[in-house]
Structure 1
């Protein structure tokens, strides 16, 4: 069983090569994880060009230059590396990759904003240039700067107009209160006039009755009739004034609970505050990407192992497949075990990724490391160099189907269909659950059992691969004897 170990000691170069290969997953993981450790936390170094050609305009009786207003706010913002340049330098910079986005405010930027309450408002235009061909990921991050500037402008405009509208509403309420007070005084005066007019009516009637010549006088009768009409009109005016006053008072009572101060305008201009509650906490991009990189690095290490070590060759005179299988299996298990432990220790204490469940994390890496070695070794033992090619094909299929980067729902139908059959699918799920402490669609213990079952299956198939090789060799020997 230990013939392969003894053979290694007789070949120091091969032995040292296997020692070096043990560190390959570590090197692979370190390079990838450190290179993408926290890109979103470094956006302060991502240059974004700002060009202000805005000439300003009068907005609600006040001179405003929205371009300058935005620039003042951006100078206090360190989310990105804002660079304030002219149009010529901006175009040259975006083409050469000096800037990842260019945001330009045209001459009529503020003028367009001043038309928002006009019968025919003009939509504001903010000119944006990006160069995704130079760096698509950089451009994608740069898009956030564009959205940030757009939100800043929208917020500023809402504040300007809402302050004006709220100020007008506040003035209107004050004027309505004054009108209500004046109408009440007017209604009181109308009542007094109506009462006085009634007294005049009575006096005229008494005079006509007391003076006989006036009783049949048409002119005097017409005077009495006119006086009565004046009295009725004054009574009606007083009644209508009272109705108008009550209607205004009712409207004012409805707005008593409403406030139209500047603070209210600012609150309505940005009414929603998002309170986020995450199920898990991710420190940085490197931590979130680690499950994919770690699982991939161990498979790459397995491919390197079969490239250096001749898993399809017998050591000594192993006449039985079982003997051949046990000799190779011992070395494969040892290599897989050491490779998994080494990567686990390095990830936890050198890369320093925060891991919620270290036991499950290490167990997942060790089980997958052994399984990956057995998978690749089985393919090579069965098919020789063609097996190495098949191992690479299997790797490529797993890259697209294991949901290591984007959600599987965003990939095409082919990769979605093979997703459940990809070993790395369960490795990545188990590593994510051990790092971030949650139970996903496949619980971590089930995922580890699936990985172990895959490794066990290929370990058994490895025996039949060696058995097949021995049978083929025996057939060839028998054929030579017959010749």
Structure 2
């Protein structure tokens, strides 16, 4: 224990050493308090941070209202005391930023309000709030400015949203009116759809009837009509053929009548001669001589010949008369069956034919023919007188015959002329018949098309009936939906009309979210959050500085044991470390105003950290001297980046993440955070245990080193 007393005697008697040790007691205080005091609450003084504002907004109109967001923002900033706002020109602001008169310049562009009014356009433009910082001159100031501009952006956004909300709520009345009109229109639509539903039902029924009637029409109408039409077409061709034959026969009849007309003059001439002969017979009827009888016989012979000629002519006339009668019947039949003549035309034409043929009568010729005897019947001369008496009647008969021949001549002339006109008209009729035949052919083709169209019409009618059924069902659904639409629009109009918006509603619309943070282990300010890191650094630096003014290796006397040697040195380091921790903690608590969860734990944990730092640095300085102190400085630097005192461990490089668990400050910072903020004392004691373990290991290594030196010294003192 003598070495322990000697160590303390040396410290007390050596004023230079004592003053140095006393000065070292305040190293952690100076380091931590100065740093923390300077940066204890920098964000609490941003109201002193000069910021320039440049407003070039020209404003605009929106929904009939003037919109000057730039001016409104300037008014809000003048009320805002978070920064030291300076409202100036852009030129002065940028010059002040370069000269560090301002830490940030906020520029409101000239189209700021105009861009805000494009919110309902197809391509709305975002508002550009321009800010300038000079991070090269002051990075932290630039970071604070970034935070400030975010708040400013939120403020501007809320202001714009509030104005939008006011316009929107003002339009709710118009919307409600429009919804009411839409509801009325929907109701009218519903009524119209009901009528349309009824009409579609009637349409469906009628279309079904149409489809059925079309099928029935095809069966009972088109098919029989097609058969009748084919028969008509066949009869038209037969009529055309018969007209051709009739035209040919009428030509022959015309030629025969022509020949008869040409032969009639000869007959008339013969009759004239016969008449003259009859007169002669009359003149000499009383003076007939044998010679006359001979002449008479000769005349009778001629008369016989004439009779035969008359008989032949009579036969021809009979044949002609029969032919005319037959032709007359055919002409009448053709005229009566013609579909191209009116009833008046038929009657007139029949009358004309009747007139032309009715006048042709030959009774006298027949009687004359009967009166002329043939050659075998000529009487003998004994009968001449009787016959002469009969001859008395001959001139009258001949005269009648002559007169009849004249009428026949006239009738033949009329017949010939009538047949000529008839042939002309018949040619026209034949031409019309040909056209009828051609028209019938065309009609046949069109009838085929009509049959095809009728089939298509039947298909279309069926499809229309099916479509009408679908339409009827769809109209039913639409009618139901339109009724619901009318009711919903009416409800919407009522609800929209009930909306009464005020300032609170506008504010709710513009800033609907209030962020309520449930912050675990609340930290009041920047300095409080930084204290674990800065205080740990201060204690480590204080431990390092004690080894500079106090020799932690050389004993004050001859040590008897390694433990005694260690104890003599550590007996000085221990109170120094305790005092360093107590002084620093007291000033931070009372002077700077740190608030902790447990004061005594805060003191105790600081003492444990201080002892751990002294144990580590004592071993390094005692075993290696200045190189050991250099290693301690390197360890200090490594702890600046690897202990997690500033940024989260996940954000630092991988190397610092790897050495994080081996650094003393890692555990001291974690323990301080538990004491200052969270109050998780179990976690704090775990960190204290790790630090205590490190201190014990370092003390043991120092004792072993001292033991090794004593053993080496004893071995050197033994005689060879």
Q: Which TM-score tier does this pair reach, normalised by the shorter chain?
A: 0.7 to 0.9
**Secondary structure of the equivalent of 2:19?**
helix
Q: State the distance in 1 between where 2:593 and 2:182 align.
A: 73
1:292-347 C-alpha deviation (Å, 9 max, x unpaired): 11111111111110000011212122254333222112112222222222223222
Q: State the distance in 2 between where 1:187 and 1:326 align.
A: 104
Identify the range of structure 1 (464-473 vs 264-273) with the bigger mean alpha-carbon deviation.
Answer: 464-473
Query: Which residue matches 1:128?
Result: 131
Query: Which residue matches 1:370?
Result: 611
Cα 1:174/1:241, change in 2 over 3 Å: farther
Cα 1:77/1:473, change in 2 over 3 Å: same
Query: Which residue matches 2:144?
Result: 141
Unaligned runs of 5+ in 1: 192-239
- The two structures have a TM-score, normalised by structure 2, of 0.56
Note if contact 2:59-2:112 (Cα within 8 Å) is conserved in structure 1. Answer: yes
Which of 563, 567, 575 matches 1:326? 567
1:159-201 C-alpha deviation (Å, 9 max, x unpaired): 223332343343122233255458879999999xxxxxxxxxx
Query: Which residue matches 1:25?
Result: 28
Q: State the distance in 1 between where 2:479 and 2:176 align.
A: 19
User: Is 1:359–2:600 an aligned residue pair?
Assistant: yes
User: Is 1:389–2:624 an aligned residue pair?
Assistant: no
Query: Which residue matches 1:110?
Result: 113
User: Is 1:34–2:34 an aligned residue pair?
Assistant: no
1:111-163 C-alpha deviation (Å, 9 max, x unpaired): 22222222332332222211111111111111122112212222222222333
Cα 1:339/1:120, change in 2 over 3 Å: closer
User: Is 1:247–2:485 an aligned residue pair?
Assistant: yes
User: Is 1:77–2:317 an aligned residue pair?
Assistant: no
Cα 1:150/1:187, change in 2 over 3 Å: closer
Query: Which residue matches 1:461?
Result: 701
**Secondary structure of the equivalent of 2:515?**
coil
Equivalent residues in 2 for 1:190-339, closer than 5 Å: 247-254=485-492, 256-257=494-495, 260-263=499-502, 264-318=505-559, 320-339=561-580
Identify the range of structure 1 (295-304 vs 258-267) with the bigger mean alpha-carbon deviation.
Answer: 258-267
**Matched residues, number:** 433
Q: State the distance in 1 between where 2:192 and 2:579 align.
A: 104
Note if contact 2:51-2:103 (Cα within 8 Å) is conserved in structure 1. Answer: yes
1:33-73 C-alpha deviation (Å, 9 max, x unpaired): 11011111111111111100111111222222211111111
Cα 1:291/1:179, change in 2 over 3 Å: closer
Cα 1:250/1:86, change in 2 over 3 Å: same
Note if contact 1:167-1:260 (Cα within 8 Å) is conserved in structure 2. Answer: no
Cα 1:118/1:350, change in 2 over 3 Å: closer
Q: State the distance in 2 between where 1:427 and 1:311 align.
A: 24
1:408-438 C-alpha deviation (Å, 9 max, x unpaired): 1111111111111111111111111111243
Note if contact 1:176-1:248 (Cα within 8 Å) is conserved in structure 2. Answer: no
Note if contact 2:179-2:489 (Cα within 8 Å) is conserved in structure 1. Answer: no
**Secondary structure of the equivalent of 1:83?**
strand
Unaligned runs of 5+ in 2: 195-477
User: Is 1:407–2:410 an aligned residue pair?
Assistant: no
Equivalent residues in 2 for 1:439-454, closer than 5 Å: 439=680, 443-454=683-694
**Secondary structure of the equivalent of 2:66?**
strand
Cα 1:242/1:167, change in 2 over 3 Å: farther
1:424-455 C-alpha deviation (Å, 9 max, x unpaired): 11111111111124338x71111111111111
Cα 1:187/1:358, change in 2 over 3 Å: closer
Shift of 1:348: 2.3
**Secondary structure of the equivalent of 1:443?**
helix
Note if contact 1:33-1:286 (Cα within 8 Å) is conserved in structure 2. Answer: yes
Identify the range of structure 1 (84-93 vs 118-127) with the bigger mean alpha-carbon deviation.
Answer: 118-127
Cα 1:254/1:464, change in 2 over 3 Å: same
Question: Relative contact order (alpha carbons < 8 A, sep ≥ 6): 1 or 2 greater?
Answer: 2
Which of 5, 16, 25 matches 1:2? 5
Shift of 1:279: 1.7
Note if contact 2:566-2:703 (Cα within 8 Å) is conserved in structure 1. Answer: yes
Query: Which residue matches 2:166?
Result: 163
Q: State the distance in 2 between where 1:110 and 1:459 align.
A: 72
Q: State the distance in 1 between where 2:581 and 2:91 align.
A: 55
Shift of 1:281: 2.6
User: Is 1:177–2:180 an aligned residue pair?
Assistant: yes
Note if contact 2:183-2:490 (Cα within 8 Å) is conserved in structure 1. Answer: no
Identify the range of structure 1 (462-471 vs 383-392) with the bigger mean alpha-carbon deviation.
Answer: 462-471
Q: State the distance in 1 between where 2:677 and 2:183 align.
A: 66
Cα 1:245/1:417, change in 2 over 3 Å: same
Query: Which residue matches 1:57?
Result: 60
Q: State the distance in 2 between where 1:88 and 1:182 align.
A: 61
**Secondary structure of the equivalent of 2:53?**
strand
Cα 1:57/1:331, change in 2 over 3 Å: same
Identify the range of structure 1 (5-14 vs 465-474) with the bigger mean alpha-carbon deviation.
Answer: 465-474
| Larger helix proportion of the pair | 2
Note if contact 2:33-2:584 (Cα within 8 Å) is conserved in structure 1. Answer: no
User: Is 1:343–2:584 an aligned residue pair?
Assistant: yes
Note if contact 2:186-2:486 (Cα within 8 Å) is conserved in structure 1. Answer: no
